[in-house]
A = this chain, B = another copy of it.
Amino acid sequence: NIIEYIFRAIDARKTEFIDRLREAVAIPSVSTDPAHRPDVVRMVKWVKNQLEKLGTKCELYVAGNQTLHDGTKLELPPILFGTLGEDKNKKTLLVYGHLDVQPAAKEDGWNSEPFKLLEKDGKLYGRGATDDKAPVLGWINAIETMQMNNIDVPVNIKFCFEAMEESGSEGLDETLRARKDTFMSNVDFTCISDNYWLGKTKPCITYGLRGVCYYFIEIDAVNQDLHSGCFGGTVYEPMADMVWIMSQLTDLDGHINIKGLNEMVAPVTPEERKLYEKMDFDMVRFEEYRQDIGAVKLLKKTKEELLMARWRNPTLSLHGIEGAFGGPGAKTIIPAKLIGKFSIRIVPNMHPDKVDKLVVEHLNELWKKRGSPNRFKAYSSHSGNYWLSDFKHPHYQCGARAMKTVYGVEPDYTREGGSIPITLTFEEVTGNNVLLLPIGGGDDMAHSQNEKINVSNYIEGTKVLGAYLLELAAM
């Protein structure tokens, strides 16, 4: 049949696809480093060229300037918008990916040159290999193979490839919103391949992300840092106030002591609970997780508890205290003004506005209870909503069938603990379903030393993307 035919064609081009990834990894498109900005732009143009060979109409859009730490301005790398097919009888898929990468240097502990793809033991090592160059090339590989074999792509495809994802996607959100009624207007579904499997062997589809609400607690006691010998004993020290208020927010077991917050969390449905049972995560993997991070003991005892704690329950993390003495050695100051920082990962149905209100009210009440005469201000620094899709949506079933065709198993339906804020933007701006379709393994080490993607994940992932495109015909 047609799908077997495409899969064989993809297998036959394996070396060619690896060479394509080698070429992409060789461009050090590090967006956080201004010195690499020309490489980032080169990477965008390289992909534009690949898309144009497929017949895609491309546009490079510069969303403005970035203001660097020292105040200088640097032009943002262009966002690559592409349109492949404008058949009114077809639905339109929007594909998002990013072309920039995290910094990397051999000295950081890489076993090989990070910007030189190394194939070893079935793995392709290189910065950006899995995050997010292989997934981006997967689309190109799949579409190109279909075109070469005269197989009709049953949907119009729009591409949105940015190159500032590792730098907070600067400029993207506004650009997408500004194109709500033009480029984005007729998108029927969005697919993002920029996350990872839960484990190493079983594919998954991701239908939820936690949001984040970030808070600042300002306590201002005196004009400037004071010598603790000269002034200690005469002032209400703000560090004492700060550690007290921070200590009131959680219990040892991580329970959040903010009235009304836990009540907002959507209960686990039986259907959701079932998803966890067959999840590719056993007690061996649980123990591996503990050892990987080096914790003496984890907060949770079972696989379900652990995954739910990461994905579908809120957590509060204390990040630090700006203005306190944080350097090495000993300094005998009474810090004058402090900004305590913490954030809450939010989940359905915790709406950021309501969370902000509860948290700030709670902090103000705690402050009243403390009774300190110092100046106090608690406020939200920023927030990003959680995202939850419906894993039973027909669009998700297209992805699931594609995965089952390639791997012979039903994928897991997972969530992630972190945020990918742009997911929400696509959903809001298009008004339609967004699917996260990871192709990399859970041990790919994105952002870390020795980032890799397995050859099999890259090639089978290309097949998944091809099969998914064909499945979309049924939508």
Contacts and interface: CB of A to CB of B under 8 A. Distances in A.
Given A252-B370, A335-B320, A228 B345 contact: yes
Contacts of A127: none
A380 to B, nearest CB: 11
A328 B225 CA distance: 17
A445 B297 CA distance: 46
A296 B447 contact: no
A417 B330 contact: no
Given A224-B448, A231-B310, A298-B235, A326 B328 contact: no
Given A239-B320, A448-B225, A232 B329 contact: no
Interface in A224-249: 224-237, 239-244, 246-247, 249
Interface in A422-462: 445-450
Nearest to A246: B243
A233 B299 contact: yes
A349 interface: no
B335 A326 contact: no
Given A231-B310, A234-B298, A239 B317 contact: yes
Interface in A152-176: 167-168
Nearest to A344: B232
Nearest to A339: B328
Contact of A319 (B299, B316, B335, B446): B335
A270 interface: no
For the residues of A in contact with B, the DSSP-based class is: loop
Nearest to A309: B233
A295 interface: yes
A324 B320 contact: yes
Among A210, A295, A374, find the residue whose CB has the most chain B CB atoms closer than 10 A: A295
Contact of A322 (B314, B316, B326, B447): B326
Copies in the complex: 2
Contacts of A389: none
B333 A449 contact: no
A407 B314 CA distance: 66
Contacts of A229: 210, 212, 345, 416-419
B310 A233 contact: yes
Contacts of A230: 196, 310, 416-418, 446
A186 interface: no
Given A226-B293, A447-B333, A328 B319 contact: no
B448 A227 contact: yes
A22 B298 CA distance: 57
Given A328-B322, A335-B320, A315 B226 contact: no
A426 B341 CA distance: 45
Nearest to A250: B240
A223 B293 contact: yes
A321 interface: yes
A295 B221 contact: yes
Given A196-B230, A231-B293, A237-B250, 7 more contacts: A222-B293, A224-B448, A225-B449, A227-B446, A229-B345, A230-B310, A243-B318
Interface of A: 32, 69, 102-103, 109, 167-168, 196, 210, 212, 214, 221-237, 239-244, 246-247, 249-250, 252, 254, 289, 292-300, 306, 309-310, 313-336, 341, 343, 345, 370-375, 381-382, 416-419, 445-450
What are the 5 closest A-B residue pairs judged by CB atoms, nearest first? A229-B418, A320-B325, A320-B324, A233-B309, A223-B294
6 contacts: A214-B332, A226-B448, A230-B417, A243-B318, A330-B381, A331-B341
